[in-house]
Amino acid sequence: MGIKLRSIQKVFLRMAPKPMLPRSALALLLPGLLAACAAPMAGNAPVGPVEVGIIGINDFHGSLEPPRQSVNVADGNGGVVPVPAGGAAWLASAIDSIRAKHPRSMTVSAGDMISASQLASSLYLDEPAIGVMNRIGVDFNAVGNHEFDNGQRELLRKQTGGCEKFTAKQPCALERFTGATFKYLAASTKRADGSTLFPATGLKTFGTGKRAVTVGVIGLTLKGTPNLVNPTGIEGLTFADEADTINAAVPMLKQQGADAIVVLIHEGGRTKGEPDPQGCTDFAGDIRPILDRLDTRVDVVVSGHTHWSYVCDYGALNPAKPFLLTSAGVYGELVTDITLQIDPVAGRVIAKQARNVIVQSTPYKGTRGDIGNTALFPQFAPRADVAEYVARYVEASKAYTQRPIGKLDRAAPKAEGPEGDPLRNLIADAQLAATRDKGAQIAFMNPFGIRTSLVPAADGTLTFGDIYLCQPFGNNVVTETMTGAQIKAVLEEGLDDTGPKQVLAPSTGFAFTYDPARPSGDRIVSITLDGQPLDMARGYRVTVNGFLGLGGDGFSGFVGKPDTVTGPTDIDALESWIKAVTVRAVAQEARVGVVKG
């Protein structure tokens, strides 16, 4: 092994018989002979780890334009720095910058890529959202609950393309839709015959020979999807247990040669306090029981659904499950840069790390003033091809988005505090007014049914685009009869220990107080309507959005009530309420009281 090249040449020259080739011809043949000898030596050399980048996003929700929201980052002095973020063209540039670091990479999404979208995407059945992701170069997308909002046949069209009409809206309105170039994955979404709606898994191989590595991907949505979508859209489908589904897929991927296992799951959790894009403080949520049951061969879990950002070394929470857990928040405001070091000989991941990259884009005016750029984080330039593509759909939608619909006397900020907020009050009042002719006496608004604050122009003007950003769901409101006892029970559902706290905001004239220190299911202290205690035996006419009426967000108490009638859409109700007066005052009174401990 330590013989010098010149010595090897001498040996071959001495061994060559005289009548054969001349010395000059042998000299020409020697390099090939030496290479043949050297090949086994090189083949025995150690094969080093192979680096693969996984670029993760989730809950894009058709956010073609910057969503006028910020990522809040701790400033180290007890405050936060708001960073304006998001927008498809800026997201494309951010992903390109991460991709440039990783010669081998794949881009994945953990669901809700479409629906509850900005108007420029929603008007066109989210075809432009798919077009954006095709241009960005996504490889796999797990099906989320919102993917089913327009029904499973329309979702299948998102994959395969074409212009067949499955909704009230006209497909291919601007251009022929060719479908997603990436693959949808739906491991837990089963048809009656046991087959999955989309493939359960996918594989991507990098490199050749001994340094080739393969990443296996499992994609699925949360088991609770039937509680979050219209039942007609998922007729004939069932949603299997998440952990069981993942654990069944892992050995199959390993048999197919997967060296790394990445799970894309549309379920998630939250950390304590303000979201920390790089942190995992006091992590909790519905995903934890799933994670605690997973096969230990899972390496990375890319999550979503809660719109919260985090990076967790899950082994610090459960030493038996040493995988990475990530989420990139919502609306393309962040993108996760995950690095895997894979041993191609052992066929396993030997190191992994992740960080969330803020997609800093353009300044905007928020409820608390102007939100400008900061030099603390990179600012991305919009990628030209994606910006041009988005501009076509934005321009086509302007007739809808720029139409003035009325004025507010002030901004109505979105919040999820325990005492409600003026925006929820405004929406509840709008839905009550829109259904008075149905006998409505009370209306309730859920906090998760609001996407963003209402920020009028300097003269108070709101456009249809403004209110659409706030409520992009297109739910009809429903009015039904509930007893006082049933109303109390449904308010308790929002305050119980199952899932996140969701204080329902009531319409004007209704008020309640609760004590969070009391046992779950018995936290309501008092309820009044027009100043009088609510009669537990009496029937009242109650209005909610159709999502809640179907038991959405876990409010089963609204389901199956008598004398249910359907009213206008939630956004039509809000528009009518705002435009009914010259300037609509945003109600500031506290309708929900909290007993302080």
pLDDT one-digit tens code per residue, 8-24: 333 333 334 444 444 44
Whether residue 382 sits in one domain with residue 460: no
Q: Are residues 307 and 220 in the same domain?
A: yes
pLDDT for the residue numbered 47: 80
Q: Say if residue 334's pLDDT is above 70.
A: yes
Tell me if 581 is assigned to some domain: yes
* Averaged pLDDT score across all residues of the chain: 90
Q: Could you tell me if 297 and 27 are in contact, meaning their C-beta atoms sit under 8 angstroms apart?
A: no
Show the tokens assigned to 291: 């994670």
Q: pLDDT at residue 330 above 90?
A: yes
Residues 450, 337 share a domain: no
DSSP one-letter string for 186-212: -TTEE-TTS-BSS-SEEEEEESSGGG-
What mean pLDDT is predicted for residues 173-199?
Answer: 97
Q: What is the mean pLDDT of residues 483-512?
A: 93
Q: What does the pLDDT look like over 439-471, one tens digit per residue? A: 999 999 998 889 889 999 999 999 999 999 899
Does residue 35 lie within any of the structural domains? yes
Residues 465, 335 share a domain: no
Residues 6+ apart with CB under 8 A from 85: 66, 69, 70, 71, 333, 334, 358, 359, 360, 361
- Check whether residue 226 and residue 303 sit in a common domain: yes
pLDDT value of residue 43: 55
Tokens representing residue 536 in the block? 């537990």
* 416 and 384 in a common domain: no
What b/e readout covers 519-551, taking b as 16+ CB neighbours within 10 angstroms?
eeeebbeebebeeeebeeeebbbbbbbbbbbbb
The tokens describing 465, both together, are 């685009």
| Full domain range(s) for residue 19 | 5-43
Instruction: Among 341, 358, 392, identify where a domain stops.
Output: 392
Indicate whether 359 and 449 sit together in one domain. no
Same domain for 171 and 121, yes or no, is: yes
For residues 129 and 131, what is the distance between their CA atoms, to the nearest angstrom?
5
In the three-class reduction of DSSP (H, G, I as helix; E, B as strand; rest coil), residue 271 is classed as: coil
Query: Does one domain contain both 198 and 136?
Result: yes
Q: Is the pLDDT of residue 324 over 80?
A: yes
Strand, helix or coil at 210? Answer: helix
**Cβ contact 434:567 at 8 Å:** yes
| Element holding 479 (H helix, E strand) | strand 476-483
* Predicted TM-score of the model (pTM): 0.78
Q: Which two tokens stand for residue 223?
A: 């088991």
Helices (H), 59-106: 88-99
Place of tokens 């008075």: 436
Residue 515: its pLDDT value, please? Answer: 96
pLDDT grade for 133, boundaries at 50, 70 and 90:
very high
Q: How confident is the model at residue 33 (pLDDT cuts 50, 70, 90)?
A: very low
Same domain, 381 and 482: no
Tokens representing 363 are: 């300044």
Asked, for residue 12, whether it belongs to a domain, the answer is yes
pLDDT digits (tens, 9 = 90+) for 354-379: 999 999 999 998 777 899 999 999 99
Check: CB of residue 262 under 8 Å from CB of residue 214.
no
Choose one of 358, 392, 426: the last residue of a domain: 392
Q: Is the pLDDT of residue 166 over 90?
A: yes
Tell me, what CATH number does 536's domain have?
3.90.780.10
- For 213, phi and psi rounded to 5 degrees? -135, 150
The structure tokens listed for 144 are 């989320």
| 397 lies in some domain | no
* Domain end residue (candidates: 341, 361, 392): 392
Instruction: Look at residue 347 and tell me whether its pLDDT is greater than 60.
Output: yes
Residues 413 and 377 in one domain: no
CB 292 within 8 A of CB 322: no
What is the pLDDT at residue 183? 98
Instruction: Judge whether residue 39 has pLDDT over 80.
Output: no
Q: Check if the beta carbon of residue 236 is closer than 8 Å to that of residue 185.
A: no
Within 13 Å and on the Cβ side, how many CA atoms surround 438?
Answer: 24
Question: Is 449 found in the same domain as 323?
Answer: no
Structurally, the chain folds into a number of domains equal to 3
Q: What is the mean pLDDT of residues 262-283?
A: 92
For residue 341, is it within any domain? Answer: yes
Which pLDDT value is given to residue 116? 87
List pLDDT tens digits, range 70-102.
999 987 787 889 999 999 999 999 999 999 999
